[in-house]
Structure 1
Amino acid sequence: MMTNLFSVFDPTSTILSLPLNWLSTFLGMLFIPSLFWAMPSRWSLMWSKVTNTLHLEFKTLLGPQHSSMTIMFVSLFSLIVFNNFLGLLPYIFTSTSHLIMTLSLALPLWIAFMLFGWLNHTQHMFAHLVPQGTPAALMPFMVLIETISNVIRPGTLAVRLAANMIAGHLLLTLLGSTGPSLSTSILALLIIAQILLLVLESAVAIIQSYVFAVLSTLYASEVV
Protein backbone atom coordinates (compact mmCIF):
# COMPACT_ATOMS: atom_id res chain seq x y z
CA MET A 1 0.00 0.00 0.00
CA MET A 2 1.19 3.51 -0.75
CA THR A 3 2.62 5.28 2.29
CA ASN A 4 1.10 8.69 1.59
CA LEU A 5 -2.12 10.62 2.14
CA PHE A 6 -3.94 8.72 -0.61
CA SER A 7 -3.04 5.22 0.59
CA VAL A 8 -6.59 4.71 1.89
CA PHE A 9 -7.80 5.06 -1.71
CA ASP A 10 -5.24 2.62 -3.18
CA PRO A 11 -7.20 -0.12 -5.01
CA THR A 12 -4.07 -2.18 -5.75
CA SER A 13 -3.43 -3.16 -2.14
CA THR A 14 -3.24 -6.91 -1.67
CA ILE A 15 -3.63 -9.45 1.10
CA LEU A 16 -1.77 -12.74 0.67
CA SER A 17 -0.93 -11.61 -2.88
CA LEU A 18 -4.64 -11.41 -3.73
CA PRO A 19 -6.40 -8.10 -4.57
CA LEU A 20 -9.12 -8.43 -1.92
CA ASN A 21 -9.89 -4.73 -1.46
CA TRP A 22 -12.90 -4.77 -3.76
CA LEU A 23 -14.52 -7.57 -1.74
CA SER A 24 -15.51 -4.88 0.77
CA THR A 25 -18.12 -3.82 -1.80
CA PHE A 26 -20.16 -6.90 -0.91
CA LEU A 27 -19.87 -6.68 2.89
CA GLY A 28 -23.37 -5.16 2.95
CA MET A 29 -24.75 -8.57 2.02
CA LEU A 30 -23.83 -9.77 5.52
CA PHE A 31 -26.70 -7.66 6.87
CA ILE A 32 -29.36 -9.18 4.58
CA PRO A 33 -30.03 -12.47 6.50
CA SER A 34 -31.03 -10.54 9.63
CA LEU A 35 -34.06 -9.20 7.72
CA PHE A 36 -35.64 -12.68 7.54
CA TRP A 37 -35.83 -13.54 11.24
CA ALA A 38 -39.29 -14.36 12.62
CA MET A 39 -38.86 -11.59 15.20
CA PRO A 40 -37.18 -8.70 13.34
CA SER A 41 -34.81 -6.45 15.20
CA ARG A 42 -35.16 -2.69 15.47
CA TRP A 43 -32.50 -2.40 12.78
CA SER A 44 -34.57 -4.60 10.44
CA LEU A 45 -37.74 -2.64 11.13
CA MET A 46 -35.95 0.66 10.52
CA TRP A 47 -34.43 -0.57 7.25
CA SER A 48 -37.81 -1.92 6.07
CA LYS A 49 -39.36 1.48 6.75
CA VAL A 50 -36.57 3.20 4.79
CA THR A 51 -36.94 0.90 1.76
CA ASN A 52 -40.75 1.20 1.80
CA THR A 53 -40.50 5.00 1.90
CA LEU A 54 -38.04 4.96 -1.01
CA HIS A 55 -40.30 2.59 -2.93
CA LEU A 56 -43.26 4.96 -2.60
CA GLU A 57 -41.17 7.97 -3.60
CA PHE A 58 -39.64 6.26 -6.64
CA LYS A 59 -43.09 4.94 -7.59
CA THR A 60 -44.35 8.53 -7.64
CA LEU A 61 -41.48 9.59 -9.92
CA LEU A 62 -41.84 6.66 -12.32
CA GLY A 63 -45.62 6.39 -12.34
CA PRO A 64 -47.83 3.49 -11.19
CA GLN A 65 -47.40 1.59 -14.48
CA HIS A 66 -43.64 1.28 -13.89
CA SER A 67 -43.70 0.68 -10.13
CA SER A 68 -41.86 -2.64 -10.53
CA MET A 69 -38.72 -0.72 -11.54
CA THR A 70 -38.40 0.76 -8.08
CA ILE A 71 -36.70 -2.40 -6.75
CA MET A 72 -33.71 -1.63 -8.97
CA PHE A 73 -33.29 1.89 -7.60
CA VAL A 74 -33.90 0.84 -3.98
CA SER A 75 -31.21 -1.84 -4.42
CA LEU A 76 -28.90 0.78 -5.94
CA PHE A 77 -29.44 3.04 -2.94
CA SER A 78 -28.79 0.14 -0.55
CA LEU A 79 -25.53 -0.84 -2.26
CA ILE A 80 -24.17 2.71 -2.24
CA VAL A 81 -25.21 3.57 1.32
CA PHE A 82 -23.70 0.35 2.71
CA ASN A 83 -20.41 1.04 0.94
CA ASN A 84 -20.38 4.68 2.06
CA PHE A 85 -20.94 3.74 5.70
CA LEU A 86 -18.53 0.81 5.72
CA GLY A 87 -15.87 3.10 4.27
CA LEU A 88 -16.03 5.17 7.47
CA LEU A 89 -14.79 2.21 9.52
CA PRO A 90 -11.02 1.77 9.97
CA TYR A 91 -9.15 -0.47 7.53
CA ILE A 92 -12.13 -0.92 5.19
CA PHE A 93 -11.62 0.05 1.56
CA THR A 94 -14.05 2.71 0.29
CA SER A 95 -14.99 1.48 -3.16
CA THR A 96 -17.43 4.34 -3.80
CA SER A 97 -14.51 6.79 -3.72
CA HIS A 98 -13.26 5.38 -7.04
CA LEU A 99 -14.58 6.41 -10.44
CA ILE A 100 -14.27 2.82 -11.65
CA MET A 101 -16.97 1.88 -9.13
CA THR A 102 -19.26 4.87 -9.56
CA LEU A 103 -19.00 4.79 -13.36
CA SER A 104 -19.77 1.06 -13.29
CA LEU A 105 -23.05 1.97 -11.61
CA ALA A 106 -23.95 5.10 -13.59
CA LEU A 107 -22.86 4.22 -17.15
CA PRO A 108 -24.82 0.95 -17.67
CA LEU A 109 -27.97 2.57 -16.26
CA TRP A 110 -27.64 5.59 -18.55
CA ILE A 111 -26.94 3.44 -21.62
CA ALA A 112 -29.96 1.26 -20.83
CA PHE A 113 -32.21 4.32 -20.43
CA MET A 114 -30.98 5.85 -23.69
CA LEU A 115 -31.40 2.63 -25.67
CA PHE A 116 -34.88 2.06 -24.26
CA GLY A 117 -35.94 5.64 -24.97
CA TRP A 118 -34.57 5.87 -28.51
CA LEU A 119 -35.88 2.44 -29.52
CA ASN A 120 -39.36 2.72 -27.99
CA HIS A 121 -40.10 6.45 -27.73
CA THR A 122 -38.08 7.98 -30.56
CA GLN A 123 -40.39 10.95 -31.18
CA HIS A 124 -40.49 11.76 -27.49
CA MET A 125 -36.68 11.67 -27.29
CA PHE A 126 -36.39 14.03 -30.28
CA ALA A 127 -39.00 16.35 -28.77
CA HIS A 128 -37.12 16.34 -25.47
CA LEU A 129 -34.11 17.92 -27.19
CA VAL A 130 -36.09 21.11 -27.84
CA PRO A 131 -37.98 22.49 -24.82
CA GLN A 132 -41.47 23.78 -25.48
CA GLY A 133 -41.62 27.45 -26.45
CA THR A 134 -38.04 27.65 -27.74
CA PRO A 135 -37.65 30.27 -30.53
CA ALA A 136 -36.80 28.83 -33.94
CA ALA A 137 -33.46 30.68 -34.04
CA LEU A 138 -32.33 29.03 -30.81
CA MET A 139 -33.42 25.47 -31.66
CA PRO A 140 -30.02 24.31 -33.06
CA PHE A 141 -28.26 25.61 -29.93
CA MET A 142 -30.85 24.00 -27.63
CA VAL A 143 -30.41 20.64 -29.39
CA LEU A 144 -26.64 20.90 -28.89
CA ILE A 145 -26.98 21.93 -25.24
CA GLU A 146 -29.51 19.19 -24.45
CA THR A 147 -27.37 16.58 -26.22
CA ILE A 148 -24.29 17.55 -24.21
CA SER A 149 -26.41 17.58 -21.04
CA ASN A 150 -27.58 14.03 -21.73
CA VAL A 151 -24.11 12.74 -22.61
CA ILE A 152 -22.43 14.04 -19.44
CA ARG A 153 -25.08 12.65 -17.10
CA PRO A 154 -23.25 9.42 -16.18
CA GLY A 155 -20.04 11.39 -15.63
CA THR A 156 -21.71 13.89 -13.31
CA LEU A 157 -23.37 11.08 -11.35
CA ALA A 158 -20.08 9.22 -10.94
CA VAL A 159 -17.91 12.25 -10.15
CA ARG A 160 -20.40 13.69 -7.64
CA LEU A 161 -20.43 10.51 -5.56
CA ALA A 162 -16.69 9.80 -5.77
CA ALA A 163 -15.66 13.42 -5.07
CA ASN A 164 -17.83 13.70 -1.97
CA MET A 165 -16.50 10.43 -0.57
CA ILE A 166 -12.88 11.40 -1.26
CA ALA A 167 -13.23 14.91 0.20
CA GLY A 168 -14.53 13.74 3.56
CA HIS A 169 -12.02 10.92 3.92
CA LEU A 170 -9.11 13.18 3.03
CA LEU A 171 -10.19 15.75 5.61
CA LEU A 172 -10.43 13.08 8.30
CA THR A 173 -7.03 11.69 7.31
CA LEU A 174 -5.40 15.13 7.32
CA LEU A 175 -6.72 16.00 10.77
CA GLY A 176 -5.89 12.57 12.17
CA SER A 177 -2.29 12.70 10.93
CA THR A 178 -1.62 15.86 12.96
CA GLY A 179 -2.58 14.22 16.28
CA PRO A 180 0.85 12.93 17.43
CA SER A 181 2.41 16.40 17.18
CA LEU A 182 -0.25 18.25 19.21
CA SER A 183 -0.47 19.03 22.91
CA THR A 184 -3.05 17.35 25.13
CA SER A 185 -5.46 20.30 25.21
CA ILE A 186 -5.44 20.78 21.44
CA LEU A 187 -5.68 17.03 20.95
CA ALA A 188 -8.98 17.01 22.86
CA LEU A 189 -10.35 19.64 20.47
CA LEU A 190 -9.10 17.59 17.53
CA ILE A 191 -10.94 14.50 18.77
CA ILE A 192 -14.15 16.50 19.14
CA ALA A 193 -13.68 17.88 15.61
CA GLN A 194 -13.10 14.34 14.30
CA ILE A 195 -16.30 13.10 15.95
CA LEU A 196 -18.29 15.97 14.44
CA LEU A 197 -16.76 15.26 11.04
CA LEU A 198 -17.72 11.60 11.34
CA VAL A 199 -21.31 12.63 12.03
CA LEU A 200 -21.19 14.93 9.01
CA GLU A 201 -19.71 12.17 6.86
CA SER A 202 -22.49 9.82 7.96
CA ALA A 203 -25.03 12.37 6.76
CA VAL A 204 -23.12 12.82 3.49
CA ALA A 205 -23.09 9.02 3.02
CA ILE A 206 -26.89 8.92 3.19
CA ILE A 207 -27.46 12.09 1.15
CA GLN A 208 -25.14 11.09 -1.70
CA SER A 209 -26.73 7.64 -1.92
CA TYR A 210 -30.17 9.22 -2.03
CA VAL A 211 -29.13 11.80 -4.65
CA PHE A 212 -27.59 9.10 -6.88
CA ALA A 213 -30.72 6.92 -6.68
CA VAL A 214 -33.16 9.82 -7.18
CA LEU A 215 -31.30 11.25 -10.18
CA SER A 216 -31.15 7.78 -11.74
CA THR A 217 -34.91 7.48 -11.19
CA LEU A 218 -35.52 10.89 -12.78
CA TYR A 219 -33.43 9.92 -15.81
CA ALA A 220 -35.49 6.74 -16.12
CA SER A 221 -38.77 8.63 -15.80
CA GLU A 222 -37.85 10.78 -18.81
CA VAL A 223 -37.73 7.76 -21.13
CA VAL A 224 -40.58 5.63 -19.76
Structure 2
Amino acid sequence: MSPTLFNQFMSPQILGIPLVILALLMSSAIFPTMNNRWLKNRTSTLQLWTINLFTKQLMLPLNKTSHQWSIILTSLMAMLLTTNLLGLLPYTFTPTTQLSMNMGLAIPMWLATVLVGLRNQPTTSLGHLLPEGTPTSLTPILIIIETISLFIRPLALGVRLTANLTAGHLLIQLTSIASISLMSTTFTLSVLTTMTLLLLTILELAVAMIQAYVFVLLLSLYLQENT
Protein backbone atom coordinates (compact mmCIF):
# COMPACT_ATOMS: atom_id res chain seq x y z
CA MET A 1 0.00 0.00 0.00
CA SER A 2 1.40 3.38 -1.00
CA PRO A 3 1.96 5.88 1.83
CA THR A 4 -0.38 8.84 2.17
CA LEU A 5 -0.28 12.12 4.05
CA PHE A 6 -2.52 10.67 6.73
CA ASN A 7 0.03 7.98 7.63
CA GLN A 8 1.70 10.49 9.95
CA PHE A 9 -1.38 10.34 12.18
CA MET A 10 -1.23 6.56 12.60
CA SER A 11 0.00 5.45 15.99
CA PRO A 12 3.63 4.27 15.62
CA GLN A 13 4.55 0.90 17.06
CA ILE A 14 7.71 -0.89 18.11
CA LEU A 15 7.50 -4.68 18.34
CA GLY A 16 3.72 -4.37 18.21
CA ILE A 17 3.60 -1.98 21.19
CA PRO A 18 1.93 1.42 20.48
CA LEU A 19 3.97 4.44 21.48
CA VAL A 20 0.99 6.57 22.54
CA ILE A 21 1.64 5.79 26.20
CA LEU A 22 5.29 6.85 25.86
CA ALA A 23 4.25 10.10 24.19
CA LEU A 24 1.87 10.86 27.07
CA LEU A 25 4.51 10.05 29.67
CA MET A 26 7.01 12.38 28.01
CA SER A 27 4.62 15.32 28.41
CA SER A 28 4.23 14.65 32.14
CA ALA A 29 8.00 14.36 32.63
CA ILE A 30 8.43 18.05 31.76
CA PHE A 31 6.73 19.20 34.94
CA PRO A 32 8.96 18.99 38.03
CA THR A 33 7.89 17.04 41.08
CA MET A 34 7.23 18.68 44.42
CA ASN A 35 10.12 18.88 46.88
CA ASN A 36 10.86 20.50 50.23
CA ARG A 37 13.31 23.10 48.97
CA TRP A 38 12.74 26.73 49.82
CA LEU A 39 14.21 28.01 46.56
CA LYS A 40 13.15 26.73 43.14
CA ASN A 41 14.54 27.38 39.71
CA ARG A 42 12.98 29.80 37.22
CA THR A 43 11.24 27.07 35.23
CA SER A 44 9.46 25.64 38.26
CA THR A 45 8.44 29.10 39.43
CA LEU A 46 7.06 30.03 36.01
CA GLN A 47 5.15 26.76 35.72
CA LEU A 48 3.69 27.13 39.20
CA TRP A 49 2.64 30.72 38.51
CA THR A 50 1.00 29.72 35.22
CA ILE A 51 -0.87 26.80 36.78
CA ASN A 52 -2.12 28.93 39.68
CA LEU A 53 -3.24 31.70 37.31
CA PHE A 54 -5.08 29.27 35.05
CA THR A 55 -6.75 27.51 37.98
CA LYS A 56 -7.89 30.82 39.45
CA GLN A 57 -9.39 32.01 36.16
CA LEU A 58 -11.04 28.66 35.51
CA MET A 59 -12.64 28.30 38.95
CA LEU A 60 -13.71 31.95 39.25
CA PRO A 61 -17.20 31.58 37.71
CA LEU A 62 -17.87 28.24 39.46
CA ASN A 63 -19.36 27.83 42.92
CA LYS A 64 -17.45 26.36 45.84
CA THR A 65 -18.81 22.84 45.34
CA SER A 66 -17.15 22.75 41.91
CA HIS A 67 -13.71 23.74 43.22
CA GLN A 68 -12.92 20.10 43.99
CA TRP A 69 -12.62 19.64 40.20
CA SER A 70 -9.74 22.11 40.01
CA ILE A 71 -7.00 19.47 40.19
CA ILE A 72 -8.63 17.33 37.50
CA LEU A 73 -9.25 20.18 35.08
CA THR A 74 -5.85 21.78 35.63
CA SER A 75 -4.07 18.45 35.13
CA LEU A 76 -6.07 17.83 31.96
CA MET A 77 -5.17 21.29 30.67
CA ALA A 78 -1.46 20.74 31.40
CA MET A 79 -1.47 17.34 29.68
CA LEU A 80 -3.28 18.58 26.57
CA LEU A 81 -1.12 21.69 26.33
CA THR A 82 2.22 19.91 26.59
CA THR A 83 1.11 17.07 24.32
CA ASN A 84 -0.07 19.47 21.62
CA LEU A 85 3.12 21.54 21.78
CA LEU A 86 5.46 18.54 21.84
CA GLY A 87 3.68 17.18 18.78
CA LEU A 88 4.93 20.15 16.75
CA LEU A 89 8.54 19.04 17.13
CA PRO A 90 10.05 17.21 14.14
CA TYR A 91 9.85 13.41 14.10
CA THR A 92 7.37 13.27 16.97
CA PHE A 93 3.89 11.83 17.32
CA THR A 94 0.89 13.81 18.59
CA PRO A 95 -1.53 11.58 20.54
CA THR A 96 -4.22 14.27 20.48
CA THR A 97 -4.61 13.86 16.70
CA GLN A 98 -6.19 10.48 17.44
CA LEU A 99 -9.98 10.67 17.70
CA SER A 100 -10.05 7.58 19.89
CA MET A 101 -7.90 9.24 22.54
CA ASN A 102 -9.80 12.53 22.47
CA MET A 103 -13.12 10.73 22.77
CA GLY A 104 -11.64 8.70 25.60
CA LEU A 105 -10.99 11.99 27.41
CA ALA A 106 -14.21 13.77 26.42
CA ILE A 107 -16.83 11.08 27.13
CA PRO A 108 -15.85 10.22 30.75
CA MET A 109 -15.40 13.89 31.72
CA TRP A 110 -18.71 14.92 30.14
CA LEU A 111 -20.50 11.94 31.69
CA ALA A 112 -19.06 12.83 35.10
CA THR A 113 -20.51 16.36 34.88
CA VAL A 114 -23.92 14.95 33.92
CA LEU A 115 -23.91 12.42 36.76
CA VAL A 116 -22.88 15.12 39.25
CA GLY A 117 -25.83 17.22 38.14
CA LEU A 118 -28.27 14.31 38.38
CA ARG A 119 -27.03 13.50 41.87
CA ASN A 120 -26.89 17.01 43.35
CA GLN A 121 -29.78 18.74 41.59
CA PRO A 122 -31.80 16.29 39.48
CA THR A 123 -34.73 18.68 38.93
CA THR A 124 -32.54 21.47 37.55
CA SER A 125 -30.50 19.09 35.39
CA LEU A 126 -33.59 17.56 33.83
CA GLY A 127 -35.08 21.03 33.47
CA HIS A 128 -32.34 21.91 30.96
CA LEU A 129 -34.01 19.52 28.53
CA LEU A 130 -37.09 21.78 28.35
CA PRO A 131 -36.63 25.57 28.16
CA GLU A 132 -38.92 27.67 30.31
CA GLY A 133 -42.01 29.03 28.59
CA THR A 134 -42.14 26.34 25.89
CA PRO A 135 -45.59 25.80 24.34
CA THR A 136 -47.19 22.46 25.16
CA SER A 137 -47.37 21.44 21.51
CA LEU A 138 -43.59 21.86 21.07
CA THR A 139 -42.61 20.08 24.29
CA PRO A 140 -41.87 16.60 22.82
CA ILE A 141 -39.88 18.02 19.90
CA LEU A 142 -37.78 20.30 22.10
CA ILE A 143 -37.06 17.51 24.57
CA ILE A 144 -35.79 15.33 21.73
CA ILE A 145 -33.68 18.18 20.30
CA GLU A 146 -32.17 19.08 23.68
CA THR A 147 -31.42 15.43 24.42
CA ILE A 148 -29.62 15.04 21.10
CA SER A 149 -27.65 18.23 21.70
CA LEU A 150 -26.69 16.92 25.16
CA PHE A 151 -25.28 13.70 23.73
CA ILE A 152 -23.49 15.55 20.91
CA ARG A 153 -21.39 17.53 23.41
CA PRO A 154 -18.65 14.90 23.97
CA LEU A 155 -18.50 14.20 20.23
CA ALA A 156 -18.02 17.91 19.55
CA LEU A 157 -15.26 18.09 22.17
CA GLY A 158 -13.29 15.21 20.66
CA VAL A 159 -13.84 16.09 17.00
CA ARG A 160 -12.96 19.78 17.54
CA LEU A 161 -9.59 18.95 19.08
CA THR A 162 -8.79 16.26 16.51
CA ALA A 163 -9.84 18.27 13.45
CA ASN A 164 -7.97 21.46 14.38
CA LEU A 165 -4.70 19.69 15.15
CA THR A 166 -4.94 17.39 12.12
CA ALA A 167 -5.65 20.29 9.75
CA GLY A 168 -2.71 22.28 11.09
CA HIS A 169 -0.30 19.36 10.82
CA LEU A 170 -1.42 18.65 7.26
CA LEU A 171 -0.92 22.28 6.22
CA ILE A 172 2.57 22.30 7.71
CA GLN A 173 3.52 19.07 5.94
CA LEU A 174 2.11 20.17 2.57
CA THR A 175 3.88 23.52 2.80
CA SER A 176 7.19 21.91 3.76
CA ILE A 177 6.95 19.43 0.86
CA ALA A 178 6.23 22.30 -1.54
CA SER A 179 9.17 24.31 -0.19
CA ILE A 180 11.59 21.42 -0.71
CA SER A 181 10.23 20.65 -4.20
CA LEU A 182 10.51 24.27 -5.34
CA MET A 183 14.08 24.64 -4.07
CA SER A 184 15.55 23.01 -7.18
CA THR A 185 13.40 24.98 -9.63
CA THR A 186 12.43 28.41 -8.27
CA PHE A 187 14.54 29.51 -5.33
CA THR A 188 12.62 32.76 -4.73
CA LEU A 189 9.29 30.97 -4.55
CA SER A 190 10.85 28.39 -2.26
CA VAL A 191 11.96 31.14 0.14
CA LEU A 192 8.45 32.61 0.15
CA THR A 193 7.01 29.17 0.84
CA THR A 194 9.46 28.73 3.71
CA MET A 195 8.35 32.04 5.21
CA THR A 196 4.75 30.86 4.88
CA LEU A 197 5.75 27.66 6.67
CA LEU A 198 7.21 29.71 9.52
CA LEU A 199 3.97 31.67 9.85
CA LEU A 200 1.95 28.46 9.80
CA THR A 201 4.12 27.04 12.56
CA ILE A 202 3.52 30.11 14.72
CA LEU A 203 -0.20 29.83 14.00
CA GLU A 204 -0.17 26.15 14.94
CA LEU A 205 1.53 27.00 18.23
CA ALA A 206 -1.37 29.31 19.01
CA VAL A 207 -3.90 26.70 17.89
CA ALA A 208 -2.32 24.06 20.12
CA MET A 209 -2.62 26.30 23.17
CA ILE A 210 -6.09 27.60 22.34
CA GLN A 211 -7.58 24.18 21.67
CA ALA A 212 -6.30 22.80 24.96
CA TYR A 213 -7.82 25.79 26.76
CA VAL A 214 -11.14 25.51 24.89
CA PHE A 215 -11.43 21.79 25.68
CA VAL A 216 -11.10 22.39 29.43
CA LEU A 217 -13.16 25.59 29.36
CA LEU A 218 -16.13 23.83 27.78
CA LEU A 219 -15.90 21.08 30.39
CA SER A 220 -15.97 23.72 33.12
CA LEU A 221 -19.07 25.27 31.52
CA TYR A 222 -20.77 21.88 31.48
CA LEU A 223 -19.83 21.50 35.13
CA GLN A 224 -21.21 24.95 35.92
CA GLU A 225 -24.58 23.96 34.46
CA ASN A 226 -24.82 20.91 36.72
CA THR A 227 -23.63 22.34 40.05
Aligned residue in 2 for 1:27: 26
1:48 partner letter = L
What is the distance in 2 between the residues matched to 1:53 and 1:114? Answer: 27
Matched, 1:76 2:76: yes
Kept after mapping to 1: 8 A contact 2:84/2:208:
yes
- Summarize the Cα distance change of 1:109–1:206 in structure 2 as closer, same or farther, 3 Å threshold: same
What is the distance in 2 between the residues matched to 1:26 and 1:2? Answer: 32
Q: How does 1:1-224 map to 2 (within 5 A)?
A: 3-11=3-11, 13-33=12-32, 38-182=38-182, 183-224=186-227
What is the distance in 1 between the residues matched to 2:134 and 2:50? Answer: 41
Report the 3-state secondary structure (helix = DSSP H, G, I; strand = E; otherwise coil) of the residue aligned with 2:13: coil
- Summarize the Cα distance change of 1:2–1:18 in structure 2 as closer, same or farther, 3 Å threshold: farther
What is the distance in 2 between the residues matched to 1:219 and 1:31? Answer: 29
Report the 3-state secondary structure (helix = DSSP H, G, I; strand = E; otherwise coil) of the residue aligned with 1:185: helix
What is the distance in 2 between the residues matched to 1:35 and 1:84? Answer: 24
TM-score (norm 2): 0.90
How many matched pairs? 223
Report the 3-state secondary structure (helix = DSSP H, G, I; strand = E; otherwise coil) of the residue aligned with 1:7: helix
| Unpaired stretches in structure 1, ≥5 consecutive residues | none
What is the distance in 1 between the residues matched to 2:3 and 2:38? Answer: 47
C-alpha displacement at 1:178, in angstroms?
Answer: 1.7
C-alpha displacement at 1:65, in angstroms?
Answer: 3.1
What is the distance in 1 between the residues matched to 2:187 and 2:207? Answer: 30
What is the distance in 1 between the residues matched to 2:48 and 2:31? Answer: 11
- Summarize the Cα distance change of 1:189–1:128 in structure 2 as closer, same or farther, 3 Å threshold: same
TM-score (norm 1): 0.91
Kept after mapping to 2: 8 A contact 1:2/1:10:
no
1:203 partner letter = A
C-alpha displacement at 1:70, in angstroms?
Answer: 1.2
Kept after mapping to 2: 8 A contact 1:172/1:197:
yes
- Summarize the Cα distance change of 1:21–1:65 in structure 2 as closer, same or farther, 3 Å threshold: closer
What is the distance in 1 between the residues matched to 2:209 and 2:142? Answer: 35
What is the distance in 2 between the residues matched to 1:60 and 1:198? Answer: 32
C-alpha displacement at 1:222, in angstroms?
Answer: 1.3
What is the distance in 2 between the residues matched to 1:19 and 1:129? Answer: 41
What is the distance in 1 between the residues matched to 2:125 and 2:16? Answer: 49
Report the 3-state secondary structure (helix = DSSP H, G, I; strand = E; otherwise coil) of the residue aligned with 1:131: coil
How high is the sequence identity, in percent, across the aligned residues?
38
- Summarize the Cα distance change of 1:204–1:136 in structure 2 as closer, same or farther, 3 Å threshold: same
Q: Name the Cα RMSD after superposition.
A: 2.0
What is the distance in 2 between the residues matched to 1:146 and 1:159? Answer: 20
C-alpha displacement at 1:34, in angstroms?
Answer: 6.6
